[in-house]
Structure formats: structure tokens, C-alpha cells
Structure 1
Amino acid sequence: MENTQPGAVRGHAVDHRQLAVALIDISSDVRRKSHENAGIPLLPNGMVDIMRVIESQPGITVAEVATRLDRQFSNVSTQLRELVARGLVTRIRDAADKRYVTLHPTEESQRIRTLLETAWAEALGAAAAKLRPEEQEQLAGSLPALQRLAVLIGEPS
């Protein structure tokens, strides 16, 4: 009998709770280990999230970042002040309307992103090398679906 549950694959239901827990555990450990191995000052996860949004959408506003991350404007604004002070984000005021400010990544931000993404890949690669060959194939085969899932979950509700 075929399983018709949402998320069912070839008669097997995807346990979204277990998937979510695994992804969060992987994310937490990869971020922690990558900062240790990249030789860069530890950035709180919230700041890394803000930097990633700004890098993916240069010219975004503070309000748009807050909406995208589903955070309070004041909290994002506070973390942005720290990112600007660290030289990782620049604020550019609109010439016509000085109240309108856009956010842009700096070269240092892009350098740190490259270091972090390399360290993330190394942490995952070291762990994946310990998987059985069939598990490595499953992992490789799941990448397109996980990338698409990341896009879909990042969209506004």
C-alpha cells in the first residue's frame, strides 16, 4: 500500500521532526567547529545570519533584514551597529532621502564568508568521510533537494 502522506517518498514518510533536529545539530556543530578552525573571531550566529542576508541581497534595508530573519527591528539594528564597527557592513544613505539607508557587505565580510564556508566544508567533509559509501551516495543525491528546501523555507510565509 502506497503512503500518501505529505513528504512521502516511495512509500516512506519523511520524519520532518527528525530531519529538523539533524539539520539543527549539524548546523550548530559545523558553525562551532568552523570558527575554531578558521582562525577568525567568533561571531554570534545572529550576526552571521545578518551578514549572509546582506551578502545575498546587497542594498537591502534594516527593516527588510529584520523581516527576512523574522526578528525585531531593534535587535537587528543593534547587531548591525556591531557589524559596522567591525568593518563587516557599510551603511549607505540615499542622496535624495537621507533617512533611507541601504546595507552592503565589505571586502572583509566577503573574506570572512569565504573562510567560514571553507571551514564549514572541511568540517562536513571530515565527518562525511566516515560515512559508509552508500551513505555518501545518499548524501550527495540529497544535495539538490536540500538546496531547494533551503530556498523554500527561506521564502516569506
Structure 2
Amino acid sequence: MESVGSGEGLASTVDHRALAVAILDISADVRRKSHEDTGVRPLPNGLLEILRVIENHPGITVAEVANRLGRQFSNVSVQVRELVTGNLVTRTRDAADKRYVTLHPTAESQRIKALLEGAWADSLAAASSRLLPAERAQIEASLPALQRLAAILDAPA
């Protein structure tokens, strides 16, 4: 376990390994169990990660996506082409510099995002209904910190 200091100088103990494993397990299970009812073709994890970066950062470049995900530019470029072909991403050339291309989610991408996020929420709601009320309250109370942690992790390296 790792000790982490808080803003007031008090130390708390967080088992970061257990937290990471729980987050990854929840993510994989929610995605797997909720996808069937959406009618959406499942995307491989690599494509989904790229798409989510583009959705969260419209106007981002392929190089910036590759940097955020710690991947090779050439590999991301090939996967972005697949997303463009699938009508999930558009490329826009800069009027002043035609070499500069930005990426944007399409309306279809936004529709799929809303469907999937709704299905993910339904899956979590069904599972959390089996928790004790105090456990549900703990999850609710931790949501702002988890959202902030996600934003910190999403920031470019």
C-alpha cells in the first residue's frame, strides 16, 4: 500500500493496486455486459480509446491523440482512418495550413456515445442495486474525486 498526503497534511492509505484492478474490472464488465442491448457494433478497445479522446477533445490532431495514449503516430493514424471510414470521425484541414488536420466526432459518434453511456449507466445501476445503502452512498460520495482523478490522468504527459 502507498501512503498519500492530503491537502491538510494528514496521511491516508490508499491501495492503488486494488483501486486500479477494481476500476479495470468494472470497466471491462460494464462494457461487456451492457453492449449487447445497444445494437451498436462493438469497437476494439484501441479504437474506442482513440474515439473517446477525440470526443473529449474535438479538434485534436492525430499526433496529439498518439501522445495522450502513448502510442506510435503511424498506428494511431491507421486506426483514425478506420474511424473515418466508419463515419465516427471527420478530418478537417486548416484553411491557413493544409498540412494541419484536426479530428472531430461525427453525429453518429455522438449518438453511439449516448447509447453506450446510457447502457453503461443501466448496467452499473442494476449491479449497485445489490449493494448495501451505505456502500451506494460511499460510491456517490467518491464520484467527484474519481472524476477529478480521471481528468488528471487524461491530461497530456
**1:54 corresponds to:** 54
- Aligned letter for 1:6? V
- Aligned letter for 1:42? P
Aligned residue for 1:114, secondary structure, equals helix
Q: Is the 8 Å Cα contact of residues 89 and 103 (structure 1) preserved in structure 2?
A: yes
Aligned residue for 1:13, secondary structure, equals strand
- Post-superposition shift, 1:62? 0.4
Runs of 5+ in structure 1 lacking a partner? none
**2:75 corresponds to:** 75
CA deviation digits over 1:91-128, x for unaligned, max 9? 11122222111111110000000001001101111111
TM-score between both structures, scaled by the size of structure 2: 0.91
1:38 to 1:133, Cα distance in 2 relative to 1, 3 A = same
- Aligned letter for 2:123? A
TM-score between both structures, scaled by the size of structure 1: 0.91
1:11 to 1:99, Cα distance in 2 relative to 1, 3 A = closer
- Aligned letter for 1:107? A
Instruction: Work out the percentage of aligned pairs sharing the same amino acid.
Output: 65
The Cα RMSD (Å) is: 1.9
Structure 1 segments (4+ residues) deviating >6 Å: none
Q: Is the 8 Å Cα contact of residues 90 and 104 (structure 1) preserved in structure 2?
A: yes
- Aligned letter for 1:14? V
Aligned residue for 2:104, secondary structure, equals strand
- Post-superposition shift, 1:28? 0.8
Q: Is the 8 Å Cα contact of residues 7 and 14 (structure 1) preserved in structure 2?
A: no
